[in-house]
Copies of this chain bind each other. A is one copy, B any other.
């Protein structure tokens, strides 16, 4: 079935499929090897441990969200509106993933709990995007932020309710959207010069 050489990339693709099919509890390295048509020893040539393989899958998954938000970050436009949209996009992306395919979302949440290092890196990337938006706003006189990096962490922390997966069960509620706007409104007011 597998075409050509066995690459790390191909293993990651198949691992995603196996995780989707069997779930995080039952997906084994042997399953991945079987789906690839190779021995499990070959998988271990590319990933030192099962944990490393799962972390790589998680990294890929989180990277996709980072990429979508990076485009927003780099786009032109006033910083306050951009920050609002950046947060709204993050919220909407997470809410969509959670509501659309709850099982797959649950699977990735298990992976995320396992891979704290990968998540820390993800958070750092996102906070850095927020920091860049804040700095842009400070330059344009739209924001006051003596320490943009610290403010970025604060903004990210204050909106955890809307992007941290542990709150996913509440994201479908009718009031979630309104509460999001309230929090973001408060933060944008707090950032005014």
Considering the chains assembled together, what is the distance between the CA atoms of A136 and B45 in angstroms?
Answer: 65
Q: Which of A117-173 contact B (CB under 8 A)?
A: 150-151, 153-155, 157-161, 166-167
Stretch at the interface among A29-37, A57-65, A98-106, A184-192: A184-192
* Main DSSP-derived SS at the A contact region: helix
A151: chain B residues at CB < 8 Å are: 182, 186
Q: Is A179 an interface residue (CB 8 A)?
A: yes
Considering the chains assembled together, what is the distance between the CA atoms of A151 and B178 in angstroms?
Answer: 11
Considering the chains assembled together, what is the distance between the CA atoms of A187 and B192 in angstroms?
Answer: 12
Considering the chains assembled together, what is the distance between the CA atoms of A38 and B178 in angstroms?
Answer: 51
Contact partner, A186, options B155, B160, B161, B182, Cβ 8 Å: B155
Considering the chains assembled together, what is the distance between the CA atoms of A164 and B105 in angstroms?
Answer: 22
A157 nearest in chain B by CB position: B161
A192 nearest in chain B by CB position: B189
Considering the chains assembled together, what is the distance between the CA atoms of A155 and B112 in angstroms?
Answer: 27
Considering the chains assembled together, what is the distance between the CA atoms of A187 and B189 in angstroms?
Answer: 8
Contact partner, A179, options B154, B166, B178, B191, Cβ 8 Å: B154
Q: Is A183 an interface residue (CB 8 A)?
A: yes
Instruction: List, sorted by A's number, 12 A–B pairs whose CB atoms are closer than 8 Å.
Output: A150-B179, A150-B182, A153-B179, A154-B182, A154-B186, A155-B186, A157-B179, A158-B159, A160-B161, A186-B186, A189-B191, A190-B191
Q: Which residues of A contact B (CB under 8 A)?
A: 150-151, 153-155, 157-161, 166-167, 178-179, 182-183, 185-192
Q: 3 tightest CB-CB pairs across the interface, nearest first?
A: A190-B190, A189-B190, A154-B182
